[in-house]
Amino acid sequence: MRHMASSKRRPILIAVGLIVLIVLIGAGFMIKQAQARYTSTIYTGSKQASSVDTSKPISILLLGVDTGADGRIDKGNSDTIMVVTINPQTKKTVITSIPRDTLAQMVGVKPTNVQKLNAAYNIGGSDMAKASVGALLNIPIDYYATLNMGGLKQIVDAVGGVTITSPLNVTFDHITITKGTHHLNGKQALTYTRMRYQDPRGDYGRQLRQQQVMKAVLAKLADSKTYTRYSQLLTSLKGNLKTDLSFNDLVSLAANDHANTKNIKSTQLIGMPAWINTSSYQIASTKTLQSTSNAIRSQLGLSAEKLSNMETRLNALNTTYNGTTNLNYNTNGLDTITYTDDTK
């Protein structure tokens, strides 16, 4: 077993950059000059040919990475994890948030390794993150997009700020946002989405605030007054957004699935607290994993399948764990990397 320390600051952000690009293309602003900029600074794939079949549903893993501000320049963990499904038949986009501390197998390493899900990106990059989330829920992950926290701040500023209604007082990093309706700049929005410990709902409350800001950004993008800011928006993504969706993929999505950005629903995978080797985790019950898998597979036009993976097997072995009176969860001798990172 090995232990890895993390930064004392654990920033959280919303990976909206991909949807920003789709909206901009749909508005007609991704001109030819922008293609070269996109290819050189954002795209991580090997070719620019479009591979998206816009007649079929697709899934995109959005990862908010805790770098890009506060002096953080290392690889980082994906402390925001969202599975986005886009269905051209139902014309719906569904965002499913997954807690960063969810116990999951790190797919692609040996020996068997279970860890907090947010570590997959740190250990094996976007490939391991896609594989680990896919295995956790038995769903295909077609594409990914990562946005670091510096990118969120710049995007919010680029759209002229966002208006949100806070359900509680939020104080973090010497900034206070009181309960009520406020127009937030980029720095304030970043603060609003990072705070966790003051929220009685913990990380789940933070996920709801992330989704709240995401929807506010999209609402600003739908406003014609924002169109004059497209150059600033594109600049805000440089060095902050990475994705394996090619420029041509985005053009196809914008042309065929642009209406989906007007019908966005969001949900959460809800787990239970647990202690494993002195670190706190979230355990998703087999019933919760199954229902989440069924919902996402349905959104992708796939039939339900019974889950059978490392998480369901561990749940079956932990017969005394209940997430309330007994928080001890046993990984039964598996090689578990434990982060001492119960931080912001």
285-313 pLDDT, tens digit per residue, is: 999 999 999 999 999 999 999 999 999 99
More confident residue, 302 or 7: 302
CATH 3.40.630.190 fits 51-318, yes or no: yes
Give tens-digit pLDDT for 123-170. Answer: 999 999 999 999 999 999 999 988 776 677 888 888 889 999 999 999
Q: Which residue has the higher pLDDT, 297 or 208?
A: 297
Does 229 or 31 have the greater pLDDT score? Answer: 229
d(CA 3, CA 16): 32
For the cut 70, the answer to whether the pLDDT of residue 70 exceeds it is: no
- Taking the model in full, what pTM does it have? 0.79
At residue 316, the pLDDT reads 94
Report the mean per-residue pLDDT for the chain.
79
Q: Who wins on pLDDT, 211 or 109?
A: 109
Query: What pLDDT is recorded for position 23?
Result: 52
On the 0-12 / 13-18 / 19+ scale of CB atoms within 10 A, 284 is buried
Higher confidence at residue 76 or residue 41? 41
Average the pLDDT over each of 5-19, 71-85, 94-108, 172-186 and give the range with the smallest value: 5-19
- Which residues have C-beta within 8 Å of that of residue 88, sequence separation ≥ 6? 54, 55, 56, 57, 256, 257, 260
What does the pLDDT look like over 42-69, one tens digit per residue?
778 776 666 788 889 999 998 887 654 4
pLDDT bracket for residue 338 (50, 70, 90): very low
Kind and range of the H or E run holding 153: helix 149-158
Residue ranges of the domains in the chain? 51-318
The residue length of the chain stands at: 344
- What backbone torsions phi and psi does residue 257 show, to the nearest 5 degrees? -120, 15
Which residue, 333, 330, 284, 328, is CA-closest to 309? 284
pLDDT at residue 236 is higher than 50 = yes
d(CA 10, CA 338): 16
Structure tokens at 33: 């000059």
| pLDDT grade for 1, boundaries at 50, 70 and 90 | very low
Residue with more model confidence, 229 or 143: 143
Query: 3-5 and 180-184 as β-strands: parallel, antiparallel, unpaired?
Result: unpaired
pLDDT at 268 over 60: yes
